[in-house]
Amino acid sequence: MLTATRIAAVVAALTLGTTFLAVQVGDRYEAAPPPGAPTADDWAVVTGNQYLSGEGADCALIGRNRNMSDPRLEGDVCIDYEMAEGGEYLATIWSSITITNDDGFWQGHSVGFRDEQDAHHHTAWFEGHGAYEGLAFIERLTEANTEFPSAGAFLDVVGLLYEGELPPMVDPDWAAEMAE
């Protein structure tokens, strides 16, 4: 026989169970995109080459982005870097990079490594300035010819250009000092 206590317990269990079920069966939660994340309509894939020609007066390496599929990414390249050697050729490389042309400039950082064949592999992220204000560019740079590495002098570029903010990135302590 059911006592008042047992009836109250059954009612409470049914109430909690149906509430839980309603939450489980209701509309599925759809996550909003992270703040500053680009939407598919705002993306432009960019390809091209980066050629580094040597040391510069104001930076460790100078060069040029060329043959870029989006002319906003063409221009003079200035790179300052820190490298942690890991063996005969192996190294981790952090860089502060500026790409400059007549309409503005791109300021950013990269992280990469040099492998056992002395081929370079980097990922970089940039914020646009001047005519490029409000744009972001994330790129992957790889050695153009890994059979005969150029010690990073000739790099293929594949990147994503979009309107918005850069996602959070990991920068070394010295990167903030170089940007000032």
Alpha-carbon torsion angle 54, 61, 84, 165, nearest 10: -150
Domain ranges of the chain: 43-179
Nearest to 104 by CA among 71, 57, 82: 71
pLDDT of the residue at 26? 46
Per-residue pLDDT at 15 exceeds 80: no
pLDDT tens figures, 67-112 = 999 999 999 999 998 888 877 778 888 899 999 999 999 999 999 9
Contact 114, 90 (CB under 8 A): yes
Token representation of residue 8: 């109250």
Q: Is the model's pLDDT at 1 over the cut of 60?
A: no
Q: Tell me the CATH architecture of domain 43-179.
A: Beta Barrel (2.40)
pTM: 0.70
